[in-house]
Structure 1
Amino acid sequence: MSLLPLIIGLYVAAALFALAMLAQLGAARVRWRARRRLGAGHRLLWALVFLLTALLAATLATALHGYRRLTGEALVARVEARALAPQRYIVTLDLPDGSQQAFEIAGDDWQLDARVIKWQPRAVLLGAPPLYRLERLAGRWNSVEQARSNPPDVHALDEPGLLDPWRLQQRLPASLALIDAAFGSSAWLPLVDGGHYVVTLAAAGGLVARPADPVTAQALRDAGWPTP
């Protein structure tokens, strides 16, 4: 269940209670000028109640928004596999920027590797975006013997740009004090013909791979992969 409607509702409620507080303050001012001290005090009391309620609603909304950011996942890639022959596939990557890359790989599984910058929780709450750099797409063999005799197909995916947060973190650690860790992360799943997968980056972790549709999930279960 998405928390977004509840968060928006709480912010709206906070705004309405704030408006109600202002209305009570205006009414208290009118009564004070009319020398109706008791009525003015009554309105001020209600203004305080509305203020506290608005603050409570805004605090709850902010806390839920922070929790949503900490538990949220950013899309890294959509993966599609098409069989060419036994243990040989065309794997297509659709990236969030709209670009698409296709590679031929051999193996039982596909594996995506990336370098990841993990922010400290307070940086995530402040809105720091997930940082990663895709590095490789490779095939993977289930059999160790087959892996020893057949080197995997490995394809480079990206080259560092002018502003590489990985290198910047190494050279200027003091200027990026909100960085918690810099590490490599991999995600892999079995290759099935016509399979569709999605890879995401968790704010508090690394890459996560899942089947993108029920057909792929069933194909993975049929292949003996424990898919929810």
Structure 2
Amino acid sequence: MNWEHLLALPTTVILLVAGALALVALLAALGSRQHWLARRRVRGSLSALLALAWLALALLSAGLGLSLRGYRRLASEEPVVAIDARILSPQRWALTLTWPDGSTRQVGLAGDAFRLEAIVLKWKLPTLLAGVSPLYRLDRLDGRYDDPQQEADAPRTVIDFRQAGAWDLLALRQHYPAWLPMVDTVYGSGAFLPLVDQGHYTVSLMRSGALVARPDEATAQRLDESLR
């Protein structure tokens, strides 16, 4: 990963800022110590207060950076995940999820269709004008039954993509809205498609925040045949 890509990651940038603020706080603390050793009490006290202020800003920046873990920049259309489906038994599926970086995950799903949901974060106008792209984080993948009665009564499958024990920007904004004045809105977006054996699907997120699922040509043909 080159520096251009590294600096495009919001978490990395914010944590670098937090590190810089922590360094400034350390320098202020060392200055305060020198003033106290030289018996310059007023300057020492002011330097100590500045050190605490810089430290508070560093901790706040670090918290914001950690809460952004799992979020990705949202371009005009961002590939989210590719899904390959294999039927095990009626309404039981084995899915292979492939992310843009090449990592994969195997999951089992119950239902007639898959439904993928994401959390999208949009910034207020000044931040957008500064060139900061919207962000998104995958939230969950679950099965969806065609029959509403089955949807209410049949076994459900939910795959959670959240990082266990990690801070999350959505929860941070809900509990401390004043801490994130640059955030315009945080909302959910979802898409679903029917499952067919040997089906291949791609899921993308538009810059508007809409999650879009598309079957490839062979999968679309199988879906058409299943509806006849």
Same fold (TM over 0.5): yes
What's the CA shift for 1:121? 5.7
| More off after superposition, 117-126 vs 71-80 | 117-126
Question: Given the alignment of the two structures, is residue 113 of structure 1 paired with residue 113 of structure 2, yes or no?
Answer: no
- Seen in structure 2, the aligned counterparts of structure 1 residues 70 and 101 have a Cα distance that, compared at 3 Å, is closer
Q: Tell me the percent identity.
A: 45
Give the whole-Å Cα distance in 2 for the aligned partners of 1:137 and 1:70: 19
Aligned to 1:224: 227
Q: Deviations over 1:9-45 (max 9, x none)?
A: xxxxxxxxxxxxxxxxxxxxxxxxxxxxxxxxxxxxx
The letter of the residue matching 1:102 is Q
Question: Given the alignment of the two structures, is residue 204 of structure 1 paired with residue 205 of structure 2, yes or no?
Answer: no
- Seen in structure 2, the aligned counterparts of structure 1 residues 93 and 148 have a Cα distance that, compared at 3 Å, is same
The letter of the residue matching 2:77 is E
Aligned to 2:32: none
What's the CA shift for 1:206? 2.8
Give the whole-Å Cα distance in 2 for the aligned partners of 1:148 and 1:82: 24
Unaligned runs of 5+ in 1: 1-68
Aligned to 2:100: 96
Aligned to 2:139: 135
Equivalent of residue 77 in structure 1, options 78, 81, 97:
81
Equivalent of residue 186 in structure 1, options 186, 190, 200:
190
The letter of the residue matching 2:156 is P
Aligned to 2:151: 147
- Seen in structure 2, the aligned counterparts of structure 1 residues 88 and 114 have a Cα distance that, compared at 3 Å, is same
Q: Secondary structure at the match of 1:138?
A: strand
Question: When the two structures are superposed, what TM-score results if normalisation uses the length of structure 1?
Answer: 0.59
Structure number, greater radius of gyration: 1
| More off after superposition, 99-108 vs 120-129 | 120-129
Does structure 1 retain, via aligned residues, the 8 Å contact 2:124–2:182?
yes
Question: Given the alignment of the two structures, is residue 86 of structure 1 paired with residue 90 of structure 2, yes or no?
Answer: yes
Aligned to 1:55: none
Provide the aligned C-alpha RMSD in A.
Answer: 2.7
The letter of the residue matching 2:218 is V
What's the CA shift for 1:193? 0.9
Does structure 2 retain, via aligned residues, the 8 Å contact 1:113–1:135?
yes
Question: When the two structures are superposed, what TM-score results if normalisation uses the length of structure 2?
Answer: 0.59
